[in-house]
Structure 1
Amino acid sequence: MTRLVIVSNRVPAPAKEGAASAGGLAVALKAALEERGGIWMGWSGKSSENDEPGALALTEEGKITFALTDLTGKDVEEYYYGFANRVLWPICHYRLDLAEYGRKEMAGYFRVNRFFAHRLAPLLRPDDVVWVHDYHLIPLAAELRQMGFKNRIGFFLHIPWPPADVLYTMPVHEEIMHGLAAYDLVGFQTDHDLENFAGCLRREDMGDAIGDGRFTANDKVFKGGAYGISIETAAFAEFAKKAGSHHLVQRARQSIKGRDLIIGVDRLDYSKGITQRLDAFERFVVNNPAHQRNVTYLQITPKSRSEVPEYEQMQRTVAEQAGRVNGALGTVDWVPIRYINRSVSRPVLAGLYRLAKVGLVTPLRDGMNLVAKEYVAAQDPEDPGVLVLSRFAGAARELKRGALLVNPYDIEGTANALARALNMPLEERRERWQRMMDYLLEYDVSRWCDDFLKDLVD
């Protein structure tokens, strides 16, 4: 069996005894590597103090070699905080107003991808299968091809892919498109993303779809497909069931004192629609006096990319908004919104999902959103909660038969969905949950991984 080589911007640390369980993606990719043997390469998360990134650090764990490299401070600023997160991220999330172009940052992005290719090259064997992940590393295959590598190389984009009118506002859109065409297989989260990609190829006669999931560009034929990422459904369901005994989950259950719990869990990011969600919850409470003092909304929002000014400003905005709502609606014995601005351990999170009568997942734009899937998997089959889900999350393409789909820009509509969710009869809740759970059990993260690799090597 050929080796698998995975390249991603960040790499999970090798497992340590007593460490918290890893997320589903890391579990699935590690399982694929353990089965085939191989390498997981990426940035260490550290930056060197001088202009040299340092040697590649190799760590063995069973049949897996973890290969980590530092970057220079200049690399981190230009490649990661600059082009990846201040150009590609907002463009792919349809936020043209937040994209800040700079030739220096663009040059840094391509330079670091070239650096990754040169670090990877000595480790590659001719028959290795290479799987590159996410927007940070789009040009990596083109760099490897230029060095003469003929390996099967696949790419999976974890975030949305925009239509041509959005993508083409980026000055280097042609280079990005040619970079994707250098892969043998390009994977997206949904069929909508795949359609957008095909439209980008056609718009300027760069290439076209030629049927059977194949595309042509750069004088070559390659494959594209939709592969919705998922979670380790059965394991997470069992995990959530056991999490109810965790002392912090028990304290949370006691603290809500019989009130209905609505939960939102998001990394602090403008794409997540957190301010619109707070507005919708406020509207729900105002419009439904019977629920006042009988509902608590828990928003867990760890800090994210605080070095980027937009995120620092957003952190202040969300905290101020939560404070305003609590000041306007709260009483001496009821705080409507509990806002937590730090990470919560996975066992506690699983237990909180199971406690919540409503999972409120309303991003303005999201590639998939695994919180939606974790919330569904965590529910008690006998008394499941209701998922209120943005139609602009990739998960809506898969869970639309069970979730209440909302437009996150429609504050009144989302407020009405909250009322419907909290008042939904048990039989309907069970039916909706079962539809979603059946799908998630069949299409779990292992299936996602296997489907992609099968199409890559065929």
Structure 2
Amino acid sequence: MSRLVVVSNRVPVPDKAGNPPAGGLAVALHAALKERGGIWMGWSGKSTGEAEPGPLSIMNNGAIQYALTDLTDRDVAEYYNGFANRVLWPICHCRIDLAEYARREMAGYFRVNRLFADRLVPLLRPDDVIWVHDYHLIPLAEELRRRGVQNRIGFFLHIPWPPADVFFSVPVYESILRGLASYDVVGFQTDYDVDNFAACLRREGSGDRIGGGRFRAYGRSFIAADFPIGMETAEFAELAEDAAHDRRIREMARSMQGRDLLIGVDRLDYSKGIPERIAAYEAFLKGNPEFQDKVVYLQVTPKSRSEVPEYAAMQENVASLAGRLNGSLGSLDWVPMRYINRSLRRPLLAGLYRMAKVGLVTPLRDGMNLVAKEFVAAQDPANPGVLVLSRFAGAARELDSALLINPHDAEGTGRAIARALSMPLAERKERWEHMMKRLLSHDVTHWCADYLSHLEPQRPTLVPEPAPAA
């Protein structure tokens, strides 16, 4: 069996006991690497200042070798904070208004991908299978091909792929498309993303589907398909059940004084629709006054990319909205919304999900959103809560028994919240069972195996360019 080489922007390094960090992706890829041996390469998260990065930092853990590279301050500013997170991220989430283009940052993005390629090539063996993750490293395969690498190389995009008119606003969009065509397998979260990608190629006249999940573009044949990422469903369900006995969960339940809990858990990001969600909750309370003093909405929102101005402004906005809501509708013994602006440990989150009557997952746009799947997996089978889910999250393509909403429609989302709180037990159980069945059969291990089964067949043949007209 050939080795697996995983490349990602950041590497979840195991603890001193050799255990991978919590979370489905890290656990699944760690298991695949452990089974067949291999390398996980990426940025260390450290900066060397103005000095050039030193050699790779190598850490061995059984059959797995972790290879970490530092970056310079310039690299971090241009590649990570710049082009990746101030161009590609907003564009892929259909926020052209927030994208800030600078030629210097675009150059930095491609420069760091060349650095990754230069550092990876000496580590490779001829039969290694390479799996690259996410939008930070789209050009990596093309850089490896330029260095003579003939290995099978796959790519998986964890965020959405935008419609053609949105994507074409990126000045170097053709370089990005050409970079994706250098892979053997390009994985997206949903069939909608694949359709958007196909439309980009077709509109430019640079490629199209050729049948059977295959595409031809820029002189190459490759697979592009949807591989919806899963989670460690059974393990998370067990974690949630155990968390019910946690002292902090019992204290939280006592503090609720018999009120129903609604929960939202999101990284602080403009794509998550948190201000819109607060507005929908306010519309629900005003439109259904009988629920006032009967419910509490808990929003857990760890800080994110605070060095990017848009995120700092959003942090202030969300805190202000929460304060205004509590000030206008709260009473001496009831606070409508509890807002936590920091991370909570995974076992505690699992227990909170299980306690909640309603899960609010309402992004304006999201590649998948594993919080939706975690909420479902955490529920008590005898008395499950209801998932209120944005139809613009990739998870909506699988979890169609949730109450699907338009996050831009505050009153419509408010009505969905009221319906969720009033839903009979029999309907709640039927909806939950349908979704849980899907999550158990399509967990993160299934996702990993499914993707690799497409990456490992015989390398596709090069499609020759058309002969020039006589």
Flag whether TM exceeds 0.5 (same fold): yes
- Give the CA deviation at 1:50: 2.7
Q: Secondary structure at the match of 1:65?
A: strand
Q: 2:408 maps to which residue?
A: 409
Counterpart in 2 of 1:313?
313
1:347 to 2:331 alignment = no
Match of 1:449 in 2: 448
What is the deviation of 1:220? Answer: 1.2
1:117 alignment counterpart: 117
* Aligned positions, number: 457
TM-score where L is the length of structure 2: 0.96
Does the 8 Å contact 2:243/2:351 carry over to 1?
A: yes
> How far is the alpha carbon of 1:271 from its aligned partner?
0.2
Report the AA paired with residue 436 of structure 2.
M
Once the two structures are superposed, the pairs formed by residues 19-168 of structure 1 within 5 Å of their partners are 22-168=22-168
- Write the mapping of 1:210-225 to structure 2, written as runs, cut at 5 A: 210-225=210-225
Alignment of 1:159-308 (within 5 A): 159-308=159-308
Q: Which runs of 5+ in 1 are unaligned?
A: none
Confirm or deny: 8 A CA contact 1:14 1:66 kept in the other structure: no
> Could you tell me how far 1:251 is from its partner in structure 2?
1.4
State the Cα distance separating 1:430 from its structure 2 match.
Answer: 0.1
Partner of 1:435: 434
The 3-state SS of whatever aligns with 1:58 is strand
The structure-2 alpha-carbon separation of the partners of 1:448 and 1:19, relative to structure 1 and needing over 3 Å to count, comes to closer
| Residue 19 of structure 1: how far off its partner (Å) | 7.6
CA contact (8 A) 1:358 1:385 kept: yes
Contact 2:13–2:21, Cα closer than 8 Å, also in 1: no
- Per the alignment, residue 12 of structure 2 pairs with 12
Q: Matches of 2:18 and 2:335 in 1, distance apart?
A: 36
Q: Give the CA deviation at 1:20.
A: 9.0
Q: Distance in 1 between matches of 2:454 and 2:369?
A: 23
Describe the shift of the 1:20–1:143 C-alpha distance in structure 2 as closer, same or farther (beyond 3 A): closer
**CA 1:99 to 1:456, structure 2 compared with 1: closer, same or farther past 3 Å?**
same
Is the CA contact 1:406–1:417 (under 8 Å) kept in the aligned structure 2?
A: yes
- Which SS does the other structure have where 1:399 is aligned? coil
The superposition leaves residues 149-195 of structure 1 with CA deviations (integer Å, 9 ceiling, x where unpaired) of 00000000000001111100110000000000000000000000000
Deviations 1:392-414 (CA, angstroms, capped at 9, x unpaired): 000000001x1000000000000
**Which residue does the alignment assign to 1:425?**
424
Q: What residue number does 2:462 align with? A: none
**Post-superposition offset of 1:18:** 10
Distance (whole Å) between structure 1 residues aligned to residue 361 and residue 216 of structure 2: 37
Distance 1:119 1:28 in 2: 25
CA contact (8 A) 2:4 2:129 kept: yes
Read off the aligned partner of 1:206 and give its amino acid letter: S
Question: Which residue identity is paired with 2:130?
Answer: V
Kindly provide the CA deviation profile for residues 308-340 of structure 1, in whole angstroms up to 9, marking residues without a partner as x: 000000000000000000000000100000000
In structure 1, distance between residues paired with 2:454 and 2:425? 41
Instruction: Quote the RMSD (CA, aligned, Å).
Output: 1.0
Q: Would the aligned equivalents of 2:20 and 2:27 in 1 still touch at CA under 8 Å?
A: no
Secondary structure of the structure 2 residue equivalent to 1:9: strand
Verify the 8 A CA contact 1:11 1:43 in the aligned structure 2.
yes
Question: 1:155 aligns to what SS in structure 2?
Answer: strand
SS of the residue 1:45 aligns to: strand
CA apart distance, 1:249 = 1.3
2: CA distance between counterparts of 1:17 and 1:112?
A: 32
State the distance in 2 between where 1:321 and 1:79 align: 33
- Percent identity reads 68
Q: Which amino acid aligns with 1:433?
A: W
Q: The residue matched to 1:395 in structure 2 has which SS?
A: helix
**Letter in structure 2 aligned against 1:259:** R
Q: Distance in 1 between matches of 2:236 and 2:142?
A: 37
Q: Structure 1: which amino acid aligns with 2:430?
A: E
Residue-by-residue CA offset, 1:29-82 (whole Å, 9 max, x unaligned) = 000101110000000111112331122011111111111111000000000000
The one-letter code sitting in structure 1 at the alignment partner of 2:223 is: K
Q: Does 1:336 find its partner at 2:340?
A: no
- The whole-number CA distance in structure 1 between the counterparts of 2:163 and 2:289 is 43
Local SS of the residue matching 2:398 = helix
SS in 1 for 2:198: helix
What's the secondary structure of 1:125's corresponding residue?
Answer: coil
Query: CA offsets per residue over residues 215-242 of structure 1, 9 Å max, x none?
Result: 0112110111100001000111011100
Q: Is the 8 A contact 1:24 1:232 kept in 2?
A: yes
Check 1:19–1:141 CA distance in 2 against 1; reply closer, same or farther (3 A cut).
closer
Q: Which residue of 1 aligns with 2:398?
A: 398
* Partners of 2:262 and 2:66 in 1: CA distance: 39
Equivalent residue of 1:343, what SS? Answer: coil
Q: Is the Cα contact below 8 Å between 2:20 and 2:30 reproduced in 1?
A: no
Give the drift of 1:437. Answer: 0.1
In the alignment, the residues of structure 2 paired with residue 164 and residue 4 of structure 1 have an alpha-carbon distance, to the nearest angstrom, of 33
Partner of 1:370: 370
Which stretches of structure 1, 4 residues or longer, exceed 2 Å deviation after superposition?
A: 15-21
Q: CA offset at residue 253 of structure 1?
A: 1.1
Mark the CA change 1:119 to 1:13 in structure 2 (over 3 Å): closer, same or farther.
same
Conservation of the 8 A alpha-carbon contact between 1:21 and 1:346 = no
Amino acid in the other structure paired with 1:389: L
Asked whether the equivalents of residues 386 and 420 of structure 2 are also in contact (C-alpha less than 8 Å), the reply is yes
3-state secondary structure, aligned to 1:263: strand
Distance 1:247 1:388 in 2: 28
Contact 2:93/2:160 (8 A) holds in 1:
yes
Deviation at residue 21 of structure 1 after TM alignment:
5.4
